Amino acid sequence: MAEIIKTNRRDFLKLAATATGGLFIGFYWSGCDSPKMQVLSNEEILAKATDFNSFLSITLDGDVVIYSPNPELGQNIKTSFPMVVAEELDADWSRVRVLQAPLDTDKFERQLTGGSGAMPHSWERLRKAGATARHLLLTAAATRLEVDKNSLTTEKGVIYHKSSGKKLNYGEVVLDAAQLEAPDEVIFKDPKDFKIIGTPIKNVDNQEMFTGKPLFGLDFYREGMLHAMVQRPPFGMKIKSVDDTEARNVSGIQEVFVYDNNVALVGSSTWPIMKAKKLLKISYEPDGNVESTADHDRIFKELLDSKEARVMREDGNVDVAFKNASKVITSEYQCPFLSHSPMEPMNFFAHVKEDQVELIGPTQTPDSARVQTANLLGIPKENISVEITRLGGGFGRRLRADYVLEAVQISKKMEAPVKVTWSREDDMTGGAYRPAVRYRFSAALDEEGNMIGYKLRGVGMNAGNSVRQDNFPSGAVENVLIENVNYESSVTTNAWRAPITNFLAYAEQSFLDEVALEVQKDPVKFRLDLLQKAKNSPVGSVNYDVDRMIGVIKDVAEKSNWGKNSNVKQGFSVYFSHRSYVAQVANIEMENNQPVLKKIIASTDCGIVVNPTGANHQVRGGIVDGMGHAMFGNLTFENGLPKQKNFDSYRLIRMKEVPEVELHYVDSGYDPTGLGEPALPPTGGAIANAIFAATGRRLRSQPFVEQKEYSDMNLEIRRG
């Protein structure tokens, strides 16, 4: 059904003729004082040209330019956002050009990439932008043609009056449309009439990416710009002394200086700085806990038994349930620290001038970078501009502005424009990791094998809350106790793609598999029975939609022929995170007594699929990412420093290590939710459960390849 949507008076519309004779229609989400449109003169536009950033503009020729406000790091938002605007505008996609908008929170509000939240936040706003423009163009055309607006139709940027055979393209009426007032309400298309949404539109940056055009932060150069790198201390250490004599002697080095426990090296190009950095002689002394992985392992065990823990959820009475249980199962699962390791290392450009700062580079959170810069320098944030480049991956690491502030501090000291580049070694040893976590699960079972009690305690290293207390199976069990203990480690941590759930899901789904098999129930039926209970007689409140979770479970069971082929050993996993539901089945086939991981089948409910290519990328990529880190990823510490410093020792998944991946979507009809994260959490559990089904070995720690249970199973990974 087509929907009538009230336009918020704050959704201010602004139109202006451009210097080249075109026209901008600017949709401001907030912060504007007048709901009326303005037509600006060419001079005014020229004056504003550098900071005029709106959702869309239409030229007199009918070309459409759409600005994409959110940082693009591979989640495809730069393509999918404009698709939504173009859909409601009924634009000709071949005439749409997409530009990255710089930071302007007054206009765009949420300019952040994280939490798979961009699409849910902006879906209605983007549709409104397109629908409002279409409404104005139709109104202008009706006046021009002297016909009723309702007798007009649009298709691919052209307005048709069927009975007279007259037509006008959008460019022909855009100047008239600029004179109109924004409507109070607009009509959204019926989703069944979508022509752009739901089609595989290609990435708008393909040509630039595949021909090597400068797109990424590290590709930014400016005449007179200095290059810089920073040597940071090990965790829990501070600088005792620095001998930079040899470093300063490297040709091309301009300055070496100590600031905030770091040593900065500045020069005219990158290579001399990389060389000089290796020649620094820095001695450090302890300044807090200097930790090693052995310390973390010991602390995990102590805190799992500690009397002090924060209760995150309590239903019924677990003590009674566990006392009355006919069987109790307890298992522990552990995950290591992980590096984000986007292919493009951290880097940023800063030019600190007298009272202005120019920032350019890859950040998931430009506003936070700006605010932190303003606080550091004690200047108003309005004096700071942020230009967002394409990001060569992020995975959460670029939610932190530490590397932006480095560029700011060095630029200020050098009184020159500076680009800070992190080497791969800097990137891997520079902190803000996925936290290491250890979990203890316990299930109390009655004589019929029903789970009458469920306990979970998570202990995390700077993990904040390492549990998700309102996730499944909460709601389906009468007696529940979920606790969290956070240890303040000197090793810094940060959000890492699907924070917490990237490991919790594997641990929980493996444990539920253990319980199901213990009570001799099929793992899929075991979960469906629990969900039925959560639906019929829910215990407490939960954050997931029971029917949508059942939907993906049933779909993946059907698509994977779950349990129907005894030659295929299958592992099941399902998880709800970041508003989307993903169920997965991993298939292991036995060939000459050797287990071969051949395929992962996924069923996803993310509501309406905006761009099938983009959705497949995110789900398939999430599965490959989840698998790679579950199998291989490990960052261990010795005396406050990671032992793994580059890709020779920190193992990332490669071409020959991926199984076939088969993707399905459940058409639930809900508004779209994000997909950058939700497909990753279930993968480790699906693989671990398949490995158990095939070999009888239960992998309770990651990375799998480093567990002794794994060492002699000869698991092969092969596509068909």
Count other Cβ atoms within 10 Å, centred on residue 541: 9
- Binding segment for another protein (CB under 8 A), chosen from 25-33, 40-48, 651-659, 706-714, is 651-659
- Binding segment for another protein (CB under 8 A), chosen from 1-9, 263-271, 299-307, 476-484, is 263-271
- Binding segment for another protein (CB under 8 A), chosen from 56-64, 98-106, 137-145, 209-217, is 209-217
653 is a site residue for another protein (CB under 8 A)? yes
Choose between 168 and 256: whose C-beta lies nearer to another protein: 256
Q: How far is the CB of 633 from another protein (least distance, A)?
A: 11
Out of 73, 404, 530, 557, point to the residue binding another protein (CB under 8 A): 73
Choose between 61 and 246: whose C-beta lies nearer to another protein: 246
646 is a site residue for another protein (CB under 8 A)? yes
Q: How far is the CB of 231 from another protein (least distance, A)?
A: 16
Amino acid at 2: A
Q: Looking at residue 471, what DSSP letter applies?
A: S
How far is CA 306 from its chain centroid? Answer: 34
Choose between 74 and 640: whose C-beta lies nearer to another protein: 74
566 is a site residue for another protein (CB under 8 A)? no
Non-local CB neighbours of 297 within 8 Å, separated by 6+ positions: none
- Binding segment for another protein (CB under 8 A), chosen from 320-328, 596-604, 653-661, 696-704, is 653-661
Length of the chain: 720
- DSSP, collapsed to helix, strand or coil, labels residue 104 as coil
Q: How far is the CB of 660 from another protein (least distance, A)?
A: 8
230 is a site residue for another protein (CB under 8 A)? no
E strands of 504-593, at which residues?
568-577, 580-591
Non-local CB neighbours of 134 within 8 Å, separated by 6+ positions: 88, 89, 90, 154, 186
648 is a site residue for another protein (CB under 8 A)? yes
- DSSP, collapsed to helix, strand or coil, labels residue 497 as coil
74 is a site residue for another protein (CB under 8 A)? yes
221 is a site residue for another protein (CB under 8 A)? yes
Choose between 269 and 283: whose C-beta lies nearer to another protein: 269
433 is a site residue for another protein (CB under 8 A)? no
Choose between 211 and 536: whose C-beta lies nearer to another protein: 211
365 is a site residue for another protein (CB under 8 A)? no
477 in Cβ contact with 443 (< 8 Å) = no
719 is a site residue for another protein (CB under 8 A)? yes
Distances (CA, A) of 511 to 333, 518, 720: 9, 10, 30
270 is a site residue for another protein (CB under 8 A)? yes
Instruction: Estimate the share of the chain in helix, then strand, then coil, as percent rounded to the nearest 5.
Output: 35, 25, 40
- Which is it for the CA torsion 278, 283, 286, 291, positive or negative? positive
Q: Looking at residue 63, what DSSP letter applies?
A: -
Count other Cβ atoms within 10 Å, centred on residue 609: 18
Q: How far is the CB of 366 from another protein (least distance, A)?
A: 17
Choose between 580 and 695: whose C-beta lies nearer to another protein: 580
503 is a site residue for another protein (CB under 8 A)? no
341 is a site residue for another protein (CB under 8 A)? yes
Question: H or E segment at 631?
Answer: helix 612-631
State the burial class of residue 163 (Cβ atoms within 10 Å of its Cβ: 0-12, 13-18, 19+): exposed
294 is a site residue for another protein (CB under 8 A)? no
- Which two three-digit tokens encode residue 514? 């253990």
What number of chain residues touch another protein (CB under 8 A)?
65
Non-local CB neighbours of 262 within 8 Å, separated by 6+ positions: 230, 231, 232, 233, 406
Binders of another protein among residues 95 to 134 (CB under 8 A) are none
Partners of 327 in the beta sheet? 445
- Which two three-digit tokens encode residue 285? 């002394």
Binders of another protein among residues 167 to 206 (CB under 8 A) are 200, 202-203, 205-206
- Which two three-digit tokens encode residue 9? 């008076």
Q: How far is the CB of 203 from another protein (least distance, A)?
A: 6
- Binding segment for another protein (CB under 8 A), chosen from 363-371, 419-427, 467-475, 707-715, is 419-427
259 is a site residue for another protein (CB under 8 A)? no
Partners of 186 in the beta sheet? 5
Binders of another protein among residues 603 to 642 (CB under 8 A) are 613, 617-618, 620-625, 628
- Angle between the N-to-C axes of helices 612-631 and 501-518, in degrees from 0 to 180, rounded to the nearest 10: 70
Non-local CB neighbours of 321 within 8 Å, separated by 6+ positions: 444, 452, 453, 478, 479
Out of 43, 210, 380, 488, point to the residue binding another protein (CB under 8 A): 210
- Binding residues for another protein, rule: CB under 8 A, are 73-76, 200, 202-203, 205-207, 209-216, 218-219, 221, 227, 251-252, 269-272, 274-275, 341-345, 390-395, 421, 423-424, 613, 617-618, 620-625, 628, 646-648, 652-656, 658, 661, 719
